[in-house]
């Protein structure tokens, strides 16, 4: 990225108020966490509400660049596991949605329906894509006829629409961006393996790239995807103790195969219905990034998802100093941009992105702005630094990668730059994991549970549950906390019999309970 990233103009036509925008106040997390979240998004210029389209958002360039980084890494992981990208219509015949009873019941309240087009009423209404199991099932029936056609492994990058009553940018909006994987298999065993494989792709991505630790587990029947036999998920803890469902992977069984008559002839010559899966993540991952790492000064980004890794701020007071300082800044920029920060991730190359900020603003104003945007590394260089062969370096957050402003010989800084970013990435993950583990609690009584979830409080609580939907609903009604998942092996306490925290009935094992976004 060459040159300067300039802030978006805020003219009279903007949806933002005159007191909003870069330079506005960020409410401290301890004072008002939801407002802090909105303030960070605004000040980092990630997105803004699309007030002319209720419930939607405008993703600004800096926010969309983060989504592109997420897309790039995930897309490479999908292709490495044999999946290919395709695209299907955004409009789905309403009759398709009704073919799978549980599916239509689950999505009915969220559907947006098109009844007129070209000035005329449509013979059959279309539903704007809330998810694509139905229309993809229709085409799978055309493409699959033999076991030789299986497995069929498809992914789609798209937008979807779900009519949300209460929205929050990135976390829950009427329209959002996502990817949805859809696969068909000859056996249930193969389909189940796919579900778990893709869940682990999501979990590994969240931890390795987003530096966001997650718990991997199975959804309860009440929380599973409409039309699935089983749903698996990754759950991340935000700084306020609430959970964010960051990705899901579903075993659809033969439900959609039967609904859309997706049959194949097996090696034995007999016809059978395919076994299908679907799995997806969305732009809510950006919300997860914000609430996992950011602070009261603004956005904090792990290097592997940062659109800009370094901002260089030239500092000079006299006109005759400008040329030498700008030459030094350009030299450092060119050298850093040759650094691949992910050579071990052979799926693609990820070069350092650098911006030189030579706008006619005071250095302090620039520091303030880039801090809010979450750029991991700030470099200052002036005439004295050039004379000493050094640069002044400041990391976005004080970690083992750097504390306070450091004065480092230029060659040493460049030689150790990739390691500096790796250390910063690892430190953000360590901080997030230690926070999650320190806030996890094991609760055995209902009084303890009520205390842990009083008011708007939340944490990750390991509790015994009797396995009934009635108890699950009662816990949610009384506390707004939900069973996030039944943990997979190694993701939580080992299975042990006990007594349900609410009903007092026998329980086979503990489950993860939290309030959620």
Of 291, 317, 334, the last residue of a domain is 291
Of 420, 454, 470, the last residue of a domain is 420
Could you tell me the two tokens for 74? 């995930």
pLDDT at 15 > cutoff 50: no
What is the band of 21 on the pLDDT scale with cuts at 50, 70, 90?
very low
pLDDT at 327 > cutoff 90: yes
Query: What are the tens digits of pLDDT across the range 24-43?
Result: 899 999 999 999 999 999 99
pLDDT at 18 > cutoff 60: no
Q: In terms of residue numbers, what domain contains 183?
A: 61-291
3-state secondary structure 407-425: EEEHHHHHHCHHHHHHHHH
Q: How many CB atoms lie within 10 A of CB 93?
A: 17
Buried b (16+ CB within 10 A) or exposed e, 458-489: bbbbbbbbbbeeebbeebbeebebbbbbbbbe
201 or 14, higher pLDDT: 201
What is the band of 401 on the pLDDT scale with cuts at 50, 70, 90?
confident
Residue 247 resides in a domain: yes
Domain at 138, CATH number: 3.30.930.10
Domain at 473, CATH number: 3.30.110.30
Residues 446 and 415 in one domain: no
Residues 355 and 380 in one domain: yes
Of 257, 291, 325, the last residue of a domain is 291
Residue 452 resides in a domain: yes
Residues 313 and 220 in one domain: no
What is the band of 165 on the pLDDT scale with cuts at 50, 70, 90?
confident
Residue 7 resides in a domain: no
Could you tell me the two tokens for 63? 């926010």
pLDDT at 1 > cutoff 70: no
Residues 446 and 399 in one domain: no
What is the band of 343 on the pLDDT scale with cuts at 50, 70, 90?
low
What is the C-alpha separation between 304 and 310, in angstroms, rounded? Answer: 13
Residues 400 and 320 in one domain: yes
Please check whether residue 394 is in contact with residue 406, taking contact to mean a CB–CB distance below 8 angstroms.
Answer: yes
Domains held by the chain: number? 3
Q: Is the bond preceding residue 111 a cis peptide, omega within 30 degrees? A: no
The C-alpha angle 455, 463, 205, rounded to 5 degrees, equals 90
Residues 196 and 334 in one domain: no
pLDDT at 9 > cutoff 50: no
- Over range 258-284, report the average pLDDT: 97
pLDDT at 345 > cutoff 90: no
Q: What is the mean pLDDT of the chain?
A: 93
Query: What are the tens digits of pLDDT across the range 355-387?
Result: 999 999 999 999 999 999 999 999 999 999 999
What is the band of 121 on the pLDDT scale with cuts at 50, 70, 90?
very high
- Over range 313-322, report the average pLDDT: 94
Residues 287 and 312 in one domain: no
């Amino acid at each position: 990225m060459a040159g300067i990233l300039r802030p978006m103009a805020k003219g009279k036509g903007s949806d933002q108020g005159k007191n909003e925008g870069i330079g506005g106040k960020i409410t401290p997390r301890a004072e008002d966490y939801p407002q802090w979240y909105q303030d960070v998004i605004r000040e980092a210029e990630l997105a803004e509400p699309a007030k002319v389209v209720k419930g939607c958002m405008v993703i600004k360039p800096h926010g969309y660049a983060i989504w592109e980084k997420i897309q790039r890494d995930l897309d490479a992981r999908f292709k490495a596991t044999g999946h290919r990208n395709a695209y299907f219509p955004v409009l789905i015949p309403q009759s398709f949605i009704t073919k799978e009873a549980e599916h239509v019941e689950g999505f009915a309240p969220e559907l947006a329906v098109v009844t007129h087009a070209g000035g005329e009423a449509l013979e059959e209404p279309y539903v704007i894509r809330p998810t694509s199991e139905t229309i993809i099932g229709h085409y799978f029936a055309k493409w699959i006829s033999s076991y030789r056609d299986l497995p069929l492994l498809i992914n789609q990058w798209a937008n979807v629409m779900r009519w949300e009553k209460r929205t929050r940018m990135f976390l829950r909006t009427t329209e959002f961006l996502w990817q949805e994987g859809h696969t068909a298999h000859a056996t249930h065993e193969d389909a189940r393996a796919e579900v778990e494989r893709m869940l682990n792709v999501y979990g590994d991505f969240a931890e390795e790239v987003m530096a966001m630790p997650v718990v991997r587990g199975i959804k309860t029947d009440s929380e599973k995807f409409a039309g699935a036999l089983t749903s698996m998920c990754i759950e991340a803890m935000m700084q306020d103790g609430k959970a964010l469902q960051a990705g899901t992977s579903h075993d659809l069984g033969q439900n959609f195969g039967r609904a859309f008559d997706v049959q194949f002839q097996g090696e034995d010559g007999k016809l059978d219905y395919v076994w299908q899966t679907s799995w997806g993540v969305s732009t809510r991952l950006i919300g997860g990034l914000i609430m996992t790492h950011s602070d009261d000064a603004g956005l904090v980004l792990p290097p592997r998802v940062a659109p800009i890794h370094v901002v260089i701020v030239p500092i000079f007071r006299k006109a005759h100093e400008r040329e030498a300082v700008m030459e030094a800044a350009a030299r450092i920029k060119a050298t850093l941009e040759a650094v691949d920060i992910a050579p071990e991730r052979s799926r693609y190359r990820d070069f350092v992105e650098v911006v030189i900020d030579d706008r006619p603003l005071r250095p302090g104003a620039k520091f303030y702005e880039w801090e809010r945007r979450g750029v991991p590394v700030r470099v200052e260089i002036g005439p004295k630094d050039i004379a000493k062969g050094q640069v002044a370096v400041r990391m976005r957050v004080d970690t083992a990668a750097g504390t306070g402003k450091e004065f480092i010989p230029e060659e040493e800084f460049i030689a150790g730059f990739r390691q500096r970013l790796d250390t910063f990435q690892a430190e953000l993950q360590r901080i997030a994991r230690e926070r999650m583990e320190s806030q996890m609690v094991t609760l055995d009584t209902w009084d303890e549970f009520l205390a842990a979830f009083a008011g708007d409080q939340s944490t990750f609580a390991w509790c015994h549950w009797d396995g009934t939907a009635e108890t699950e609903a009662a816990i949610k009604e009384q506390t707004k906390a939900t069973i996030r998942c039944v943990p997979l092996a190694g993701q939580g306490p080992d299975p042990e019999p006990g007594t349900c925290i609410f009903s007092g009935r026998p329980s086979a094992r503990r489950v993860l309970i939290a309030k959620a976004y």
